[in-house]
Structure 1
Amino acid sequence: MSAIPDRTSGAVRLWLAVVAALVIAMVAVGGATRLTGSGLSITEWRPVTGAIPPLSDADWAAEFAKYRDTPQYNILNQGMGLSAFKVLYGWEWGHRFLGRLLGLVFFLPLIVFWWKGMIRRRLGWGLLGLGLLGGLQGAIGWIMVASGLQPGMTAVAPLKLALHLTTASLILALLVWLAAGERPSVLAPAPSRLRITALILPPLVLAQIFLGGLVAGSHAGLVYNTWPDMDGVMIPAAEHLFAVTPWIENFVDNHLLVQFDHRVVAYLLLTLALLHAADAVSSARGTGTARRALAVAGLVLSQAGLGIATLLLAVPLWAALAHQVLAMIVLTAATLHARLSQGIGSGAATRAAPSQSYAGLATRGA
């Protein structure tokens, strides 16, 4: 590992933290864009010239005319005035503007840091991969919007929405993982069992976010608004869960199965988080691992409670947005915990056995 001063490493970590915060902000604005029905208000993908919003009455009239040709306007918003359209346009433009800002905040410092030799080779390759993933995310976003502009469509395709949200979440998780790995001090790994379960949590959170995207995209949260049952039954009958033909389409188009899947994985995630926290407190009491495990379990429990409230209240805007943002916070905490549990620094993986080095570092916040 190349020797890079702690101050340099700190600057890189701060930059990655800012980028991660922008990703969370973009997810929040994206959620508001979807919930206000604004996502189809801009009908073209102009990565460069689209950064400038309409500035004159003629520009606004031209954009409004394009929107009036969309199925969403003709089916849902017939008769909408220009002032209402400007509100929709503002949300979507803000979401795209944040995407452009995120790209600049990521790539410009990356070039500077790399030029000055402030980025380790392994981190550099990871960041280049993240840059490519970010470009793919932009393309997925436009493919998603284009799906909602097809004849007869009034919203984007649920599967494409879920992919867009999950890719953004994956970018966030990778940013947190890379930033955590830049911690300058040596941190011993947690006991083997805790390391494994900590590693399972972030992928499970990502899976739950994907399923949440399907629920949001298909509006499955607006039905079966009871808990813990689903309108009187705990486990729906198979003929209802797989009522759509072909059967594979039930996982996207059948509101009952889409919501049921989201509930089941939530229970699985909560159970694992609580068991992991109990195990960490029992086997690594007083360490950073135990504290992080408890924090992750608490966040997952809070997210589950917020999800139940969102369902019972029939998805009000404030609850849906809070649920989406808290999901990003849960993912951030789970990823940070998983990375730090693996150990940081050259001594973490190559020196004494984990149990020995772990005990020696416990008092330093392992």
Structure 2
Amino acid sequence: MKKRIYLDYSATTPMKKEVLDEMMPYFNEKFGNASSIHSFGREAKEALDIARDRIAKAIGAASSEIFFTGGGSEADNWAIKGIAFANKNKGSHIITSKIEHHAVLHVCEYLEKNGFEVTYLDVDEYGMIDLEQLKEAITDKTILISIMFVNNEIGTIQPIKEIAEIAKEKGVYFHTDAVQALGNIPIDVKELGVDLMNFSSHKIYGPKGVGAIYIKKGVKIHPLIHGGAQERKRRAGTENIPGIVGFGKAAELAIENLDAHIAHIQKLRDKLIEGIKNNIDYVRLNGHPTKRHPGNVNFCFEFIEGESLLLSLDMVGIAGSSGSACTSGSLDPSHVLMAIGLTHEIAHGSLRLTIGDFTTEEDIDYVIENLITIVDRLRQMSPLYEKVK
């Protein structure tokens, strides 16, 4: 059987056995609706409360500040639209960055068509926003700042606490998409000072189709989904109890094992980065060299198409990506790589390899060995590379 190595943990993670084991009873034995008042419903409601407590504990929040959603994208939509429409009497200006996930950017584009103004902040060559530019962008009409915690493509970690302080000083709400942060870096929402923060279960070895949003007590926000009294009348719809139970367990495991997890994936990340830098010419590491996701490796390989590189890796059993899984069907270069100043030609040669709990040193050795061979083979077919040689 062909060797298979998964290095796309930022796209999704395999569900851990402990998570699945905890979910199983809620598919058939404990199948009640958490809104029902009988014993079956109370059983489901208890599981819902336990999961909510686990998520809250993982980020230093109160349980009453955690609301479950159908995933990270829904939570982004809720945070931005909810704040925009609930506070439009105060202003109609929103600030975000050019390297946000499309679940933020497309929402902002939608709001621009509905009477709101959006400022898209530039980033530097490492993908960091400029705090001075942020301050200058705030007006008396600004109601929300939305900047992601950890970039899903290049792994750069933004100065969230400093952004929150600027927002608070100006009386502006601050939302951060922390989908790539939870389970990979320590999070304390009270210490950070954010107003809204969202997460996704399947990024931390939990099930797909479930997410959560932290909404600080006192934040004025409209619901995104209407129709019932679930989630304290803020998110209608019968709760996905098995998924929420799994998310809660995954969050608990992530916090219990956080230090060991970070040490493991960071060691392998650094080994992979050095292996590529030391053995392959004409490469560029994308993202901040130190303030980055502990498992993120993102390189551009000159004179190569990223799609050819991905397909060649897949043929030897290595799974990676060229950027966000949500835009993998697009032929356009990554908006993130373009925003950090890369040309179309360079950006098209990108490769994102993300490391997780089940990655081994042997896996990294195998990837480096095969990547050297594949890059060399693909470059031999490149007329541009021939000119450089």
- TM class by shorter-chain length? under 0.3
Q: Which has the larger radius of gyration?
A: 1
Higher relative helix content: 1
Higher relative strand content: 2
- With the length of structure 1 as denominator, give the TM-score of the two structures: 0.23
- With the length of structure 2 as denominator, give the TM-score of the two structures: 0.22
